[in-house]
Amino acid sequence: MTFCESVARTPDKPATIIGDTGERITYRELDDASMRFAQVLHAAGLGAGDTVAVLMETDLRYHQVVWGVLRSGMYLVPINKYSTSDELAYLLADSGAQGLVVSSSIAVALGLAQAPPPLRMLLAAGAPVAGVEDFDAALAAQPARPVSDDERMGDWMLYSSGTTGRPLGIRRPLPDAPFDSPLAVDASAQAIYGLDRTSVFLTPAPLYHSAPLCYTSATHSLGGTAVLMRKFDAERALALVEELGVTTGQWVPSMFVRMLKLPAGVRSRYDLSSQRTAVHGAGPVAPSVKRAMIEWWGPVLVEYYGGTEFTGLTCCTSEEWLAHPGTVGRPILGVPHICDPADGRELPRGEAGLIYFERDHMPFRYHNNPERTEATRHPEHPLWTQSGDIGHLDEDGYVYLLDRLSFTIISGGVNIYPQEIEDTFIRHPAVADVAVFGVPDDEMGERVQAVVQPAAGADEAALAQELTRFARETLAAYKVPRTVDFMDQLPRQETGKLYKRVLRDAYREPETLPSLGVRRPARP
């Protein structure tokens, strides 16, 4: 199916529902609004190949912008709602955006009315903002009809998360296809998510991240209903599954942890039997957490591993994971190779190294950054690319993740992978979240540091000692953190990705730790 077919077949069916409020928009309403927005773009002088940015909170208008840009043959750049003025300026300049749609509250917070960026079009969505054109009024002034009889398909221009520096844009050639065509992600949406026109797809993560944006749009293309949450709440997510008959959910490991730590009575309160697929990615999940989720929800969990660059993709069913605990699956796109990070030498099965994927063409280039693009390529095989992950392959060809290369701790010449330690700590009932990384050490080069988000009411001094004992039960002594500190909330994205670099950098300037909210309990 396509978006146009979905509109024709089920015009009155909800295309998107906001789970927090019950607000919804039908396919006919979404189609009309997207045509009106395309007219707004055309009236502002934008045309095929131009770029439009969207900086919005979760809102029904978000998909109006998405489909208006796509049916105009333009690029859409989603921007994180927490971006600063400097970050916004960088992304607009780097992408070459000529238009911006921004939530009214964000426009006010960033002072866009006082210092508007140099754009052909700036619209505020929500409450009126003096000096900025209103999104709803702009759409109401335009007709709900196509700009032309030959609407062409646009595309997303996605940026990497920027956890290791400035975000990097991925701008692919526009598809040479009419707007009434399947989206490029429809195939993976069907293969991994099992999406079709009967699907009710829940994403608790915001649309400015790539997977929620792509797969809610694929839900529309395939005729299902997308359900959004403005903020993840563990119990509310379970309630939505029951209330709306959610068939497919998109989750991250930290969400699983928070749901598992709900009281048993809350967890058993909701009927979750409508779920056909519970998809997760955005980082490895602790084996204990994965097993507990399968025991609770049944064999509906499907894990994927891939990046915004789309260099490769793996997929793993619950049954496969139970037979190969810890795997992220076998490849469904690209051929994986495990190579020595130092010299690129391909390593035998079972040995850990940098994960490369081989494709029959170069699948991406970083916009305006050929040096970073080249750095992803294998030194001898230009069609093998990597995104900085360490892992290994087993004899059956299943891929296992260990950690990011940049977070590998080298202590006394030995490689230590923080993910294994984090997986151990998260099993403790008093640990709500944890980050492990290396900090400088005069003797060993680096030592292992843990920062824990404790459960409410924990005695931190006692918990630090308890966690050290707990870790020693399963980890080799050299992997056990030398020190355990605490924070009320670890710096995570809403997709679950941890800004570990923020913590690691702060420990190189210890005087900054109190301002970050790090508490260092008294040492025995």
Residue 65 lies in a domain: yes
What is the rounded distance in angstroms from the CA atom of residue 50 to the CA atom of residue 55? Answer: 17
What is the rounded distance in angstroms from the CA atom of residue 469 to the CA atom of residue 481? Answer: 10
Q: Specify the pLDDT at position 434.
A: 93
Asked whether the predicted pLDDT for residue 524 surpasses 60, the reply is no
Q: Specify the pLDDT at position 139.
A: 98
Measuring CA to CA, which residue among 439, 393, 438 is closest to residue 418?
438
Q: Specify the pLDDT at position 512.
A: 83
Chain-centre distance of CA 225, in angstroms?
A: 20
Choice among 214-223, 234-243, 358-367 with the minimum mean pLDDT: 358-367
Structural domain count, the chain: 2
Residue 159 lies in a domain: yes
| 175 CB-side CA count, 13 A | 19
Residue 40 lies in a domain: yes
pLDDT band at 194 (very low <50, low <70, confident <90, very high): very high
Asked whether the predicted pLDDT for residue 454 surpasses 90, the reply is yes
What φ, ψ does residue 332 adopt, rounded to 5°?
Answer: -115, -5
**Burial class of 170 by CB neighbour count within 10 A (0 to 12, 13 to 18, 19+):** buried
Q: Specify the pLDDT at position 445.
A: 87
The mean pLDDT of 58-79, rounded to a whole number, is: 98
pLDDT band at 62 (very low <50, low <70, confident <90, very high): very high
Q: What's the CATH code of the domain at 460?
A: 3.30.300.30
What is the percent of the chain where pLDDT is above 90? 75
What one-character-per-residue DSSP string does 85-137 give? HHHHHHHHHHHT--EEEEEHHHHHHTTTTTS--S-SEEEEESS-BTTBEEHHH
End-to-end CA distance of the chain: 64
Chain-centre distance of CA 271, in angstroms?
A: 27
- In the structure encoding, which two tokens stand for residue 172, read together? 């692919």
Q: Which CA distances in Å does 152 have to 67, 96, 135, 176? A: 12, 20, 23, 8
The mean pLDDT of 462-473, rounded to a whole number, is: 92
Triad 412, 418, 421: Cα angle to 5°: 105
Q: Which of 7-11, 282-286, 307-311, 376-380 has the highest mean pLDDT?
A: 7-11
For the entire predicted model, the pTM comes to 0.87
Residue 477 lies in a domain: yes
- In the structure encoding, which two tokens stand for residue 431, read together? 């640990």
Q: What's the CATH code of the domain at 36?
A: 3.40.50.980
Choice among 1-10, 167-176, 366-375, 495-504 with the minimum mean pLDDT: 495-504
Greater confidence (34 vs 281) lies with: 34
Q: Specify the pLDDT at position 163.
A: 47
Q: Are strands 327-333 and 399-404 parallel, antiparallel or unpaired?
A: antiparallel
Residue 331 lies in a domain: no
Q: Specify the pLDDT at position 161.
A: 63
- Helix residue ranges, H only, 223-380: 234-244, 253-260, 264-267, 287-297, 318-323, 370-375
What is the rounded distance in angstroms from the CA atom of residue 83 to the CA atom of residue 93? Answer: 14
What is the rounded distance in angstroms from the CA atom of residue 19 to the CA atom of residue 286? Answer: 28
Which of 149, 175, 201 is a domain's end point?
A: 175
Which of 135, 158, 175 is a domain's end point?
A: 175
User: How many residues belong to the chain?
Assistant: 524
Asked whether the predicted pLDDT for residue 125 surpasses 70, the reply is yes
Choice among 55-59, 216-220, 331-335, 491-495 with the minimum mean pLDDT: 491-495
Q: At what angle do helices 253-260 and 287-297 cross, to 10 degrees?
A: 60
What letter does residue 285 receive in the DSSP assignment? -
What one-character-per-residue DSSP string does 19-30 give? TTT--EEEHHHH
Q: Specify the pLDDT at position 166.
A: 81
Domain that holds residue 114: 26-175
Contacts 24+ apart (CB under 8 A), 59-62: 59/18, 59/103, 59/125, 59/126, 60/16, 60/18, 60/23, 60/24, 60/25, 61/33, 61/101, 61/125, 61/135, 61/136, 62/207
Residue 85 lies in a domain: yes
Residues 6+ apart with CB under 8 A from 335: 312, 357, 358, 359
Which of 143, 175, 207 is a domain's end point?
A: 175
Asked whether the predicted pLDDT for residue 344 surpasses 50, the reply is yes
Measuring CA to CA, which residue among 336, 341, 339, 347 is closest to residue 406?
341
Per residue in 310-334, is it b (16+ CB within 10 Å) or e — as a string?
Answer: bbbbbbbbbebbeebebbbbbbebb
What letter does residue 47 receive in the DSSP assignment? -
Q: Is the dihedral of CA 205, 206, 209, 210 positive or negative?
A: positive
Answer for the pair 279, 250: CB distance below 8 angstroms, yes or no.
yes
Does residue 45 come out as left (phi exceeding 0), alpha (psi in the -120 to 50 range) or beta? left
Answer for the pair 315, 188: CB distance below 8 angstroms, yes or no.
no
Residue 163 lies in a domain: yes
Asked whether the predicted pLDDT for residue 240 surpasses 60, the reply is yes
| Block residue for tokens 């459960």 | 455
The mean pLDDT of 345-370, rounded to a whole number, is: 92
pLDDT in tens, 382-437: 999 998 899 999 999 999 998 888 888 988 878 898 889 998 999 999 999 999 99
Residue 449 lies in a domain: yes
Q: Which residues pair with 26 in a beta bridge?
A: 14
